[in-house]
Amino acid sequence: MKRLPWLLLPLGVLAADFASKTWILSILRFPGDSKPVIEGFFSLTLGFNKGAIFGTLHTAPEWLRVGLFSLAGIAALVYFGRLFLADATPKLERVALGMILGGACGNGLDRILHGHVVDFLDFVFGTWHYWYFNLADSSIVVGAILFGIALLTAKRAGVAAPAE
């Protein structure tokens, strides 16, 4: 496998995420500031998430959050990075892993630079209001779905999953 072209995927996700967050911070200043894009459905709304997914652990002491998120981030980078770079990893899994790695690095960079993750994509479906999220979150979710599809289709085809 030629690694350099593949490394462009997580780096591209990281760059797009960083650029989008830099842009949103230039137009929205305070948490809760909002600009409607599609009235009643989609807005750009600034939010800062000190916690994990859906804000869990946001009230935990900072030392605990920093320690836990640092350990989890390093473990994820090592685990997913090893699979991403393995010669035997099929293309669909590599794409999925590249998206997950790029998104994880984007949110990790936020925690280093700001002490929280910058979220701004805000959707409302009827009476249901989804949590704010960002491009890194989207990349992680799409990557996880693709990874699951890759594993399920490999299993159906009788192909062994990559060795851990």
Instruction: Pick the catalytic residue from 17, 110, 119, 122.
Output: 119
Q: Among the options 17, 110, 122, 137, which is catalytic?
A: 137
Split into its structural domains, the chain has a count of 1
Q: Which residues of 116-143 are buried (b: 16+ CB within 10 A; e: fewer)?
A: bbbbbbbeeeeeeeeebbbbbbebbebb
Task: Let me know if residue 72 belongs to a domain.
Answer: yes
110 catalytic per annotation:
no
Per the domain annotation, does 101 fall within a domain?
Answer: yes
Tens digit of pLDDT for each residue in 25-67?
A: 999 999 999 999 999 999 999 999 886 666 666 666 776 767 7
Mean pLDDT of the chain: 88
Assess whether 122 carries a catalytic annotation: no
Q: Which residues pair with 45 in a beta bridge?
A: 34
Task: Flag whether 161 is in a domain.
Answer: no
Instruction: Look at residue 69 and tell me if it is in a domain.
Output: yes
Q: Give 85-109 pLDDT, tens digit per residue.
A: 999 999 999 999 999 999 999 999 9
**90 located within any domain:** yes
3-state class of 149 per DSSP?
Answer: helix
Look up the domain containing 121 and give its range: 3-156
DSSP 118-145: EEEEEEEETTEEPPPB-HHHHHHHHHHH
Give a yes or no: residue 66 inside a domain.
Answer: yes
> What's the pTM?
0.85
In a domain, 34, yes or no: yes
